[in-house]
Structure 1
Amino acid sequence: MVCDGANPYPETKRMSAVPEQARVVIIGGGVIGCSVAYHLTKLGWKDVVLLERKQLTCGTTWHAAGLIAQLRATANMTKLAKYSQELYGNLEAETGVATGFKRCGSITVALTEERREEIYRQAGMARAFGVDVEEISAAEVKAKYEHLNVDDVAGAVYLDKDGQGDPANIALALAKGARQGGALVKERICVTGIAKEGRRVTGVDWASDDGKEQGHIKADMIVNCAGMWGHEVGRMAGVNVPLQACEHFYIVTEAIPGLTQLPVLRVPDECAYYKEDAGKMLLGAFEPNAKPWGMDGIPKSFEFDQLPEDFDHFEPILEAAVERLPMLAEAGIHTFFNGPESFTPDDAYHLGLAPEMDNVWVAAGFNSIGIQSAGGAGMALSQWMDAGEKPFDLGDVDISRMQPFQGNKHYLFERSKETLGLLYADHFPYRQKATARGVRRTPFHHHLLERGAVMGELAGWERANWFARENQEPEYQYSWSRQNFFDNVREEHMAVRQNVGLYDMSSFGKIRVEGPDAEAFMNYVGGGDYSVTNGKIVYTQFLNKTGGIEADVTVTRLSETAFLVVTPAATRLADQTWMMRHKGDFNVVITDVTAGEGVLAVMGPRSRDLLNTVSSGDFSNEVNPFGTAQEVEIGMGLARVHRVTYVGELGWEVYVSADMCGHVFETIAEAGFDFGLRLCGMHMMDSCRIEKGFRHFGHDITCEDHVLEAGLGFAVKTAKPDFIGRDAVLKKKETGLENRLVQFKLTDPEPLLYHNEPIVRDGEIVGYLSSGNYGHHLGGAMGLGYVPSKGETADQVLGSSYEIDVAGTRVKAEASLRPMYDPKSERVKV
């Protein structure tokens, strides 16, 4: 992060006001950095130093629109947003700095039936999350917002506690609060370098803005809150922070006579938001095709800068806005503003401990929701830093979800064109990103495309999600109702249930743990028992100290000194980092070997028959029982077969070195013709697993979900003397469960479930679905979700009447604590 004239005077003395040592150095003085400093001091931290290259708020914060909304996509993100608005409501009284915070409410209107369903589903989710929300009609919108043209409004939602504030003053109030708590906030001090030893930073080099003074601060840790400079600062610290600045446009009108306070208004179908402020109207846009900025680096002199106007780019938004809000046609434009904001590859911000280093924290890339997120993000990160463990599940925004390649500048340039506009796009289920695709391909990629695969993307991996029929367009047609692939997935699902299916699992993470202490290390880091014979497969979880689930994996013992840990594709880096950070003195080497092997899953009642035709291996229960692996020949090649399943059927995962993948695929596919083999995708796998009640990490099980309450006690072996989380498991056994993960099936076969739909028990909302899909074999939409059950038996939990709220309509649901499909797992062991 080079400053103007940095370090031209090596002989000058260091600034006396900059300390030589700090517990933490926060880099960046926008609203996020100020919030982190504020919250750390609230926890009693001393020696907190915040360095800002120019002036506080001068990057993005000063020109933010200042919209403050509570409702986000998940329960925990909503919790953070709610905290922000509560904090800002009290901040002025605490610091004496006017924040301009007003609870003026917000309205989101839908102009289509699809958008109406989306916002009504969001309203149901809001109630499950404890947020006050009201569905309102077009007439009620008109009553609250008289200036609006509501002729084509299909529906709307209103949140009365949402509001708006003055972004710069909110940041300055947080900075003052931090100073009152003992933090040192220094402006015009630029970080010019970061010193490192191994996996730790040891301090930062700095220079004054004019370059006349410089020095070094020894630091126990740093926090990268550098906003659109976050990518650059990350590289200085040896960590990956994928984000890209984009141009963001809004206009402010001249004063409009008689205009009074209005709710914040969002019209996502027209890519627009509106805010009344001091008798003027602000109109902002999240246009579908964004303009990345700063690809060659942000100018060293950047400070409260504006970017060149581009009225042609903004004009389509303005034309629609004049029709929507006719008074804009008579109002003069006071300001046409274009300023940069940073966006991430998945539109979720970056928070947490960077996986590459053990004392570098990140809070950056806030995708134009930095003001409403800053309070909660600062609170959560400071608690994480203070306790050394996440205060609750932050998987949506945890920086460890980012893959190394996503820091590639060309990738970020291409992806950022889309992500800005996605904020207001229809958030359809299964919606796939359209840009920056094709980066990571499995060895079977072209084989699958030739046979009609429709690809989705996860963690950069191209994965076959479903297969189109011969005369069907191989592309998604999105909807909130049954999408164009619904019947395709049903056919794939039934093929696996009744015959045999083949799908590609190569994207799943594969981590090799090898060394003299491999067994002892695995027994410490995981809840299962790994003192097993070679070839044995152990399904298990990595637990934290509270018994929460940090990873959900299968572990295969390959030899006396080697294990293979298989993880979900999206969490491979996080899971490997968890092991690295708990390696301690164990003599092991932990290596990502994901790309070295392709994996084909052969699943279904006839899977054994099919494999017998292509291999001389013995797939009988006597030689290859469930939960074991063996080396076999397939065709003219070699493979290792793991007898496990995530779909609840007899089957094998076939591991093949990358060089032989093409041959093995062709061998199995050709033999499969005689069996009616069906190629299947990830959507099938998810619909089958939810029928079987298998948990989905990141949805049904997270770091804040206790392993016993998740119904996974069978995978934890407390007879072992010492493993992470053992005490918490034993304690929960003594004190009893407070929640139970319940499987639900709607009795009406028509409605669809995705996740976050409210669970209604005996007429009262008690929780929400953590995941949902359609159970094609069982004939209805299904979901999993936690139900409070303190002091209750299983029979009492199941003795209630349950409904699921689907876009405002309550639908009766059956409930079960055992898998509704094959509860005794007889089919997988046949």
Structure 2
Amino acid sequence: MALPSHARAVIIGGGIIGCSVAYHLTKHGWKDVVLLERKKLTSGTTWHAAGLVRGMLYSGNLTRLARYSIELYRKLEKETGQATGLKQNGSISIATNEERWDELRRGASLAHAFGVDAEPITPKQVAEKYPLMNTSDLLGAIFFPNDGQCNPADTAMALAKGARVGGARIFEDTRVAAVLKQDGRVTGVRTEDGHEIKSDIVVNCGGMWAREIGLMAGVGVPLHAAEHFYVVTEPMDVPSNLPVMRDMDACAYYKEDAGKLLIGAFEPHAKPWGMNGIRADFCFDELPEDFDHFQPILEGAIHRVPKLGETGIRKFFNGPESFSPDQRYLLGEAPELKNFFVAAGFNSIGIQSAGGAGMALASWIAEGHPPFDLWDVDIRRMMPHQNRKTYLYDRVSEALGLLYAMHWPYRQYETARGIRRTPLYQRLQENNACFGDVAGWERPNWFAPNGVEPKYKYSFKRQNWFPHCAEEVKATREKVGLYDQSTFAKFLVRGADAEAQLQRICASDVGGAPGRAVYTQWLNERGGIEADLTVTRIAEDAYWIVTAAVTAVRDKHWLMRNLEPGARVTVDDITNAYAVIGVMGPNSRALLQPLTEADLSNAGFPFGASKEINIGHATVRATRISYMGELGWELYVPTEFAVGVFDTIVAAGGPHGLKLCGMHAMDVCRIEKAYRHWGHDITDEDTPLEAGLGFAVAWDKNVNFIGRDALLKQKGQKLPKRLLQFALENPEPLLYHNEPIYRNGERVGHTSSANYGHHLGRAIAMGYVHHEAGVDADWVASGKWEIEVGLKREPARASLKPIYDPTSGRMKV
């Protein structure tokens, strides 16, 4: 079969991911699909994967994808005649200490939130299900009855066969040497022998090679290979119906393998591999054994399954797998190149994810948008610096082990740190800031008082910083807090058509005279929220857009893709040109007024106003707005003046009770005020009306903004889905998000974000609830509400309005 000169879509990579994308594109009726594999199908990572499949991942939509994979693998043999080896014997996750038992119980509640069966079982019940196991040191376990295992290579071949039946053409021994592009759009590929295939769509499913393929296209695909170890024992009469077992405290998993046991590891300090590239002839290769590295895992395995002490090892395996910087795979259209899509970096969950990921990406390609919110794995969450080899080498050594490490709330990465620092970093460090890592930025999460080390001590209960955060919240609510918000992403939009273009893209009205900051959403055609940000008009032909650090790439990509062709507009990233100092709290005016000649009174500087003023020796842009729900200003300070302005404010702050505050306090304040956070409380499948943000929609502006028609269909209707705020009745339990929500004993949703409300004195959360007849105030008030925390249901209060300051009066005094 000769290579074609044109295809509707070209897929690079013939592992299980590439085969799944090809299979699912044909299900959309795409016949002209070509898959190019550099060597043989499955020859990179798929062939040696352990083949574990489970029905739950760490978010609702990723769980949907995982469950879809299982359903797909169940029916593939009947459809294609190719067996997948799927066995749903269930899986058991065991706990040998209280911390792990806390984590597993919370994980079981998370499973319930997403409709996944998860049953707590006793050590005695574990022994009944897994007779080989030493259960003497177990506290408990969670059993997932629908989990299991499959044969990875067979499953990939079944998908490939299904793709061929659907019309796709698959070419082995065909290496792509170049990605072709023109005018910011992909146009095809060139193979190693010089043959060009013109194509409207190119999909990078290159596995360990995906980063190099991305570089051909000028696209960042941050992943790095690491060595992954497992052993297979001699035959030991292992029952064929044995569940998969995970002993995460011992960094190990166990699965039945034709009467033998396969024991794999996710060790704390992994071994990155392939730093100098991967051999061109790499195909079904194994890496050298490293028995010393695996020895601690094997010793733990003999303790857990004593029979291993008298059983030989038939196979010691070491093979490479690719890992991303944050343990989540990379999916979607690359922001750098139109119609170049990526599905890679699957972090040892490629088999269980392949069916769903292939389905989602094929839908994204065919329909022009993802089938539902996929921000958790959207490649646009990645920052440019994360594609550097030095960064990836350091981070991957940690990321592999984190798969089985304790999944602590607020856990911070330890590797590849200190990469991006705000101008105020040194000052904050001198004041005992404990920093966290977001988008590579070092941000102060909390401040330790004198004599306390600014370092996390993790727990599922109240962590060591809990009382210090409480003091920061108290200062913000009662006096004044100073926040370093410099990590905000900032874009300068200029040009004769700036207003017209932003009016099309923004749901709010961003016209009018300069000097006004407008809170707005950017919507898709379905009315879903693509971005949540502020737009400030600073001149007739110029605007500032301010958004979250983590969505910087995504939001700029959305803006650029939605500018009309020929529009007289430029967009510049000015993030690093300005520090942002937030001065928030009832004493903020009293603190700032003596430092400036500007009139900061309510009449002279109303809420939403944005002006250039002098503070100390600097000219800053002051915007009266707040994410904390208090009177306050965000001060946009040219970087070179930032430390001086900071020092001026701090020097004057003592009499007003000024306190340095971190991101944890900000999160508490914003959830108490029920302020939404994009990616948690609002996503591209939630509309402003469902999210309670209808006030931010300019229904009558003389512009047909994107998403308006979809919203008009919802307007005035009883909505079956609404975002509520919750507060637990019991002040002791903590919420972290993704806990199931019950009304009158029926599960109706799950929390989207949560924290401990120090001012309210109890855990608080937001979350969507569902009721086909409509969610309204009467339905909310008439229900008995509960939130499940670690398998225990806790009574809660539910509200459509913010529990703290529902009229927003405190910000507008």
Category of TM-score, reference length = shorter chain = over 0.9
Q: Which residue of 1 aligns with 2:779?
A: 796
Query: How far 1:674 sits from its partner (Å)?
Result: 2.5
Unaligned runs of 5+ in 1: 1-15, 208-212
Higher mean C-alpha deviation, range 667-676 or range 47-56? 667-676
Structure 2 CA distance for aligned equivalents of residues 712 and 237 of structure 1:
39
Q: How does 1:308-707 map to 2 (within 5 A)?
A: 308-585=288-565, 586-707=567-688
Q: Which residue of 2 aligns with 1:763?
A: 745
Q: Is the 8 A contact 2:270 2:400 kept in 1?
A: yes
Query: How far 1:419 sits from its partner (Å)?
Result: 0.1
Tell me the amino acid that sits aligned with residue 355 of structure 1: P
Q: 2:764 aligns with which of 782, 806, 823?
A: 782
Query: How far 1:214 sits from its partner (Å)?
Result: 3.6
Structure 2 CA distance for aligned equivalents of residues 485 and 567 of structure 1:
27
Query: How far 1:652 sits from its partner (Å)?
Result: 0.3
Query: How far 1:495 sits from its partner (Å)?
Result: 0.2
Q: How does 1:40-51 map to 2 (within 5 A)?
A: 40-51=25-36
Superposed CA offset, 1:91-136 (max 9, x none): 1111111111111110001111111111111111111211111111
Superposed CA offset, 1:698-725 (max 9, x none): 0000001121010000001121331110
Identity of aligned residues (%): 57
SS at match of 1:116: helix
Q: Is the 8 A contact 1:261 1:277 kept in 2?
A: no
Query: How far 1:576 sits from its partner (Å)?
Result: 0.5
Query: How far 1:673 sits from its partner (Å)?
Result: 2.0
Tell me the amino acid that sits aligned with residue 98 of structure 1: A
SS at match of 1:701: coil
Q: Is the 8 A contact 2:238 2:261 kept in 1?
A: no
Q: 1:816 aligns with which of 799, 802, 808?
A: 799
Query: How far 1:734 sits from its partner (Å)?
Result: 4.8
SS at match of 1:815: strand
Q: Is the 8 A contact 1:95 1:176 kept in 2?
A: yes
Q: Which residue of 1 aligns with 2:133?
A: 148
Q: Is the 8 A contact 2:674 2:802 kept in 1?
A: yes
Superposed CA offset, 1:420-459 (max 9, x none): 0000010010000000000011110010000010000011
Q: Aligned-pair RMSD on alpha carbons?
A: 0.9
SS at match of 2:195: strand
Q: Is the 8 A contact 1:736 1:790 kept in 2?
A: no
Q: 1:301 aligns with which of 263, 272, 281?
A: 281
CA pair 584-337 structure 1, distance change in 2 beyond 3 A: same
Superposed CA offset, 1:783-805 (max 9, x none): 00111133333222221110110
TM-score by length of 2: 0.99
Structure 2 CA distance for aligned equivalents of residues 583 and 635 of structure 1:
39
Q: How does 1:51-70 map to 2 (within 5 A)?
A: 51-70=36-55
Q: How does 1:144-293 map to 2 (within 5 A)?
A: 144-207=129-192, 213-257=193-237, 259-293=239-273
Structure 2 CA distance for aligned equivalents of residues 135 and 71 of structure 1:
15
Q: Is the 8 A contact 1:265 1:274 kept in 2?
A: yes
Structure 2 CA distance for aligned equivalents of residues 331 and 718 of structure 1:
72
TM-score by length of 1: 0.97
Q: Is the 8 A contact 1:92 1:99 kept in 2?
A: yes
Structure 1 CA distance for aligned equivalents of residues 5 and 608 of structure 2:
57
Unaligned runs of 5+ in 2: none
Tell me the amino acid that sits aligned with residue 402 of structure 1: M
Structure 1 CA distance for aligned equivalents of residues 810 and 220 of structure 2:
44
Q: Which residue of 1 aligns with 2:754?
A: 772
Structure 2 CA distance for aligned equivalents of residues 332 and 116 of structure 1:
32
CA pair 331-77 structure 1, distance change in 2 beyond 3 A: same
Superposed CA offset, 1:41-75 (max 9, x none): 01101210000000000000000000001111000
Tell me the amino acid that sits aligned with residue 642 of structure 2: C
Q: Is the 8 A contact 1:789 1:797 kept in 2?
A: no
Q: Is the 8 A contact 2:13 2:36 kept in 1?
A: yes
Q: Which residue of 1 aligns with 2:80?
A: 95
Structure 1 CA distance for aligned equivalents of residues 751 and 4 of structure 2:
50
Structure 1 CA distance for aligned equivalents of residues 239 and 754 of structure 2:
45
Superposed CA offset, 1:791-828 (max 9, x none): 33322222111011010111110111111111111100
Superposed CA offset, 1:273-329 (max 9, x none): 000110010000000000000000001110000001111100001101100111111
Q: Is the 8 A contact 2:780 2:799 kept in 1?
A: no
Structure 2 CA distance for aligned equivalents of residues 700 and 543 of structure 1:
15
Query: How far 1:24 sits from its partner (Å)?
Result: 0.7
SS at match of 2:390: helix
Q: Is the 8 A contact 2:90 2:243 kept in 1?
A: yes
Tell me the amino acid that sits aligned with residue 614 of structure 2: E
SS at match of 2:131: coil
SS at match of 2:237: coil
Tell me the amino acid that sits aligned with residue 475 of structure 1: K
Q: Is the 8 A contact 2:222 2:324 kept in 1?
A: yes
Structure 2 CA distance for aligned equivalents of residues 260 and 603 of structure 1:
62
Superposed CA offset, 1:169-209 (max 9, x none): 100100000000000010000001111112111111103xx
Tell me the amino acid that sits aligned with residue 46 of structure 1: K
Structure 2 CA distance for aligned equivalents of residues 155 and 433 of structure 1:
29
Tell me the amino acid that sits aligned with residue 457 of structure 1: D
Q: Is the 8 A contact 1:240 1:404 kept in 2?
A: yes
Tell me the amino acid that sits aligned with residue 751 of structure 2: L
Q: Which residue of 1 aligns with 2:19?
A: 34
Q: Does 1:805 align with 2:788?
A: yes
Structure 2 CA distance for aligned equivalents of residues 505 and 179 of structure 1:
52
Q: 1:825 aligns with which of 805, 808, 812?
A: 808
Structure 2 CA distance for aligned equivalents of residues 759 and 22 of structure 1:
47
Superposed CA offset, 1:564-614 (max 9, x none): 111111001100000000112321111111111000100000000111122
Tell me the amino acid that sits aligned with residue 360 of structure 1: F
Structure 2 CA distance for aligned equivalents of residues 46 and 719 of structure 1:
45
Q: Is the 8 A contact 1:228 1:244 kept in 2?
A: yes
Higher mean C-alpha deviation, range 467-476 or range 668-677? 668-677
Q: Does 1:75 align with 2:56?
A: no
Q: Is the 8 A contact 1:610 1:675 kept in 2?
A: yes
Query: How far 1:260 sits from its partner (Å)?
Result: 3.7
Q: Is the 8 A contact 2:11 2:203 kept in 1?
A: yes
Structure 1 CA distance for aligned equivalents of residues 710 and 777 of structure 2:
21
Tell me the amino acid that sits aligned with residue 334 of structure 2: A
Query: How far 1:258 sits from its partner (Å)?
Result: 5.7
Structure 1 CA distance for aligned equivalents of residues 501 and 737 of structure 2:
36
Structure 1 CA distance for aligned equivalents of residues 68 and 239 of structure 2:
30
Q: Which residue of 2 aligns with 1:726?
A: 708
Q: Is the 8 A contact 1:527 1:543 kept in 2?
A: yes
Tell me the amino acid that sits aligned with residue 165 of structure 1: C
Superposed CA offset, 1:612-670 (max 9, x none): 12222211112210001111111111111110000000000010011111111111111
Q: Which residue of 2 aligns with 1:10?
A: none
SS at match of 2:416: coil
